[in-house]
Chain A
Amino acid sequence: MSTPILSVKGLSKHFDGLKAVDNLSFDVFKGEILGVIGPNGSGKTTTFNCITGYYKSTAGEVLFDGKSITGRTPDFVAQQGIGRTFQVTRPFGDMTVWENVTTGAFLRTMHLMEAKKIAEQEVEFVGLADKINVVARSLSIIDQRRLEFARALATKPKLLLLDEVMAGLNAQEVDEALKLVHRVSAMGITLVVVEHVMKVITSISNRVLVLNFGAKLTEGKPADVMSTPSVIEAYLGKGFGDYVANC
């Protein structure tokens, strides 16, 4: 747990006057699951977009595996081994599940047969085997999330950034998704998980990073973070303090 796989140093992203991310620094360690929480608009997704190259950061540095990926394009970042999913799912709608994931697998192989084989394994892994030839557009939300998961895994990432993969799922689906995340983690892939659902973050993360107004509020073990008064106030609101105490 001592070597950081990802180091974010003094990252800032300003949209005109708005400081969406403001001088943010944190490390992600090899093999851990880091939960990122914060109220709406606290800069979670913006941070993801800066790390993965979708936004050009205003200032700061991002190191992956000791190499700077600051200001690089999303495809370069993905080639280095950072996978991601999107808050709003983005399947290749007209392609089948298999074709979607095969496209991802092509990052590590030139051969169609090999890519299809990798894809088949990943599709099975996320539990979509019975829908492998279904057109992605017609999948339910949970299945589209599974698909994005499989597509990202097919690129063989070392680090996977999950942007609210649990949003919109019911309790049973959340449990299934949690199991999936744990199995991915068991494969040795480092995970950064942005979530709104409290239960998810506390049960899943080794460490939690709390953002507020684009800056780091605190970080630490889930239980410690949850009992920090400033977190309860900023993230959960004052009345929520009692609820947390009862948990």
Chain B
Amino acid sequence: MKNVKTSRQEIKNTAGNAMILNPRNYLPILGLALALLVPLIVTNSYYLGLINLVILFGAAGIAWNIVGGYARQVSLGHSIFFGIGAYTTTLLQIKFNISPWIGMFFGGVFAVLIGILMGMSVFRMKGHYFAVFTIAYSYVMMLLFQKFRGLTGGAEGLSVPFNDGSLAMFQFSSKVPYYYIFLLALVLIILLVQRLGKSRIGYYWTAIGQDEQAAMAIGINIAMAKHLALGISAFLTAILGSFYAQYVYFIEPFSMFSTHMSVEIALVAIVGGLGTVMGPVVGAIVVKPIAELTNMFLGNVLPGANYALYGLILIVAIIVIPNGLIVPINRLYQKLINRLERSSDRN
């Protein structure tokens, strides 16, 4: 009963207030405005670099969440798409001097094709088998990229050709431009996934994630919906992979196609909140700095202990808040909105 009342209240409030005076509208804009100021406040290059990775992995987590969170097909092979994006843009630059801005779309399309091939075999698998198969595929990728060294540079990896920094070649000497480009990508991906979540396909993905048998009974073509989820997810992940290559300048198959990379992408979404839009962003804000800080403080003193502590913190986080860190944050956000709405009603 309580829920019905609040939803009616919501309708009343959105209708009654001018668009910009509604906290639902101005709070996200305020948040974005604050985000735009970050490079002015954080001038330390190391910390800004960390923030850049938080944004990049937050975005990758959202992309992963489409297939892993909404449709609950837990992929532990997303490094494949990340790596394909990184390699395609870098190779196109080296061999044909094609700008990463163009190359990334080739990477995206290539990732979708690989995703379709994977999906055809992997979507027959259920639950854990699906996850295991995606891991197997990422190993296949890693070996292929190590083996065909003529094309891929082999195990030694590839360096992004240096050209003195230019927007056209997506290369900057400062970390600030990267920050704004990554932020823009994050905002676009948030808007896209928000829209998808409110569309038919978004409802279908969630339904499939909950119960495939029941989903079929109401006419949902499971295979088609899953392919679409993996395709969109693969495309976005590949784009972010090319961003990553342009940011770190050096890629090699062992780390690009590693399960470690896949887990890192998945973890951001799992810790933050499966099947939620903003969950992965929250997840990245928590997971990435913890990994970085444990490494910084313990990495040299007690090598290995940093990973143990990192793991321990994640275990505690998942046990304490099994539905993701986004849940308590959402509750607080809701309270804030209600309070602001009440105070604006009084005026």
Chain A interfacial positions (CB closer than 8 Å to B): 52-54, 73-75, 78-79, 83-84, 86, 90-96, 99, 102-104, 106-107, 110, 112, 115, 130, 132-134, 151-152, 154-155
Contacts of A73 on B, CB cut-off 8 Å?
216, 221
B204 interface residue (CB < 8 Å to A)? yes
Of all chain A residues, which has the CB nearest B210? A92
Which DSSP category, helix, strand, loop or mixed, fits chain B's interface? helix
Supply 13 A–B pairs (Cβ within 8 Å), ascending by A.
Answer: A54-B213, A73-B216, A74-B216, A78-B216, A79-B219, A91-B214, A92-B210, A92-B211, A94-B210, A106-B204, A110-B200, A152-B217, A155-B218
B204 / chain A contacts, CB cutoff of 8 Å: 103, 106
Report the minimal beta-carbon distance from B64 to chain A, rounded to whole angstroms: 18
Q: Are B218 and A107 in contact (CB under 8 A)?
A: yes
Known: A75-B216, A79-B219. A99 touches B203 (CB 8 A): yes
- Residues of B88-123 whose CB lies within 8 A of A: none
- Chain B CB count within 10 A is highest, among A75, A133, A151, A154, for A75
Residues on A with beta carbons closer than 8 Å to the beta carbon of B3: 96, 132-134
Contact (A52, B217) CB under 8 Å given A110-B200, A112-B199, A133-B3: yes
B126 to chain A, nearest CB (A): 15
A106-B203, A112-B198, A133-B4 as given contacts; A92 in contact with B219, CB under 8 Å: no
Contacts of A99 in B (CB 8 A): 203, 206
CA distance A155 to B7 in the complex (A): 25
Are B206 and A106 in contact (CB-based, < 8 A)?
no
Name A's interface SS: loop
Any A CB within 8 A of the CB of B222: yes
- Who on chain A is nearest to B6 by CB? A133
In the complex where A99-B203, A106-B203 touch, is A130 in contact with B4 (Cβ < 8 A)?
Answer: yes
Distance from A123 Cβ to chain B, minimum over Cβ atoms (Å): 11
Which residue of chain A has its CB nearest to the CB of B208?
A: A92
| Residues of A close to B219: CB separation below 8 A | 75, 78-79, 107, 155
Evaluate contact between B218 and A151: CB separation under 8 angstroms.
yes
Chain B minimum-CB-distance residue to A52: B217
- Residues of chain B contacted by A86 (CB below 8 angstroms): 213-214, 217
Give Cα distance in the complex from A106 to B222, angstroms: 14
Mask: chain B, 160-180; 1 = CB below 8 Å from A; 0 = not: 000000000000000000000
How far apart sit A110 and B219, CA to CA, in the bound complex (Å)?
A: 13
| Residues of A contacting B1 in the complex (Cβ-Cβ under 8 angstroms) | 130
Is A90 in contact with B216, judged by CB distance below 8 angstroms?
no
Q: Please name the residue on chain B nearest to A102 by beta carbon.
A: B203
How far is the CB of A234 from the nearest CB of chain B, in Å?
A: 30
How far, in angstroms, from A128 to B7 measured CA to CA in the complex?
16
Chain A residue numbers with a CB within 8 Å of B198 are 112
Chain A CB within 8 A of B207 CB: yes
- A29 to nearest B CB, angstroms? 23
